[in-house]
Chains A and B, each alone.
Chain A
Amino acid sequence: MRKLIALGIALALSGCASFDPPKPWERGELAKPSMQFDYDRLDARTQIHIYTSKEAASGGYGVGGGGCGCN
């Protein structure tokens, strides 16, 4: 029983760290338009551009998308 609890703790502590994120060559599904957070890429790019300049922020995130891992 104790061993089981210990194993349970081990699995809980490691969380999702034992799962690999998709590799760059496995991002085909993520590259689909339906998988994007933004409705329109060009619109999102403009909005981020305006937001970062108005807020004098450095822009925490770029407009990625494509899921190609090359940006």
Chain B
Amino acid sequence: MKTNLASALALAAALALGATGAHAVDAGAPAPNFTLPNAKGEAVTLDRLRGKVVYVDFWASWCGPCRRSFPWMNEMQQKYGAKGFTVVAINVDKKRADADKFLALLPANFPVVYDEAGTTPAAFAVQGMPSSYLIDARGNVSFVERGFTDESRGPLEERVKALLAAAAK
């Protein structure tokens, strides 16, 4: 009986502690690869974008700050798209219709891909919405932005510029 009780307690502890998730992907770490479909069903693979500076943005229609970030991301894509930069926005809505409504209001000029299952945000261990990962030309995460306010714009653009300059060398 004693051993049973001991193993029961061990099991309880294991169950209680088992809830800890994966480690967050931080600056300096290699970005986890993903292959996700865009609206046309074409696959977009992160590793294929190696050599480009990539801004991976996790967004959802229900996320308020995402509405702020879309105009900025459009601007960045327009400014630096030809210079080896791209935004990849990963939608995590459970219903595609919600994302479509959002995109009708805020059209995007950059690739938008869909991950209803949430495997990519789990791989990146996203800590809040929106979360963005600035990835350098070598495929390493250079900077993680959690949340988005108008104050995020300037510093982020500087980082994009610096990474593009480093990639051009």
Per-residue CB contact flags for chain A residues 33-71 toward chain B (1 = under 8 Å, else 0) read 000000000000000000000000000000000111111
- Note all chain B residues with C-beta closer than 8 A to A15: 16
The verdict on B12 contacting chain A, using a C-beta distance below 8 Å, is yes
Number of A-B contacts (CB under 8 A): 96
Q: Is the CB of B98 within 8 A of A28?
A: yes
> A1-42 toward B: CB 8 Å interface, digit per residue (1/0)?
011011101110111011110011111100110000000000
Q: Is the CB of B11 within 8 A of A68?
A: no
Residues of B within 8 A of A7 (CB): 8, 11
Stretch touching chain A among B29-37, B43-51, B61-69, B81-89: B61-69
Q: Are B16 and A23 in contact, CB atoms less than 8 angstroms apart?
A: no
Interface 9-residue window, one of B104-112, B127-135, B136-144, B153-161 = B127-135
Instruction: Determine if B128 and A9 form an interchain contact, defined as CB atoms under 8 angstroms apart.
Output: no
Interface of A is mostly: helix
Which residues of B does A touch, CB under 8 Å? 1, 4-5, 7-9, 11-13, 15-19, 21, 58, 60-65, 92-94, 98, 118, 121-122, 126-131, 146-147
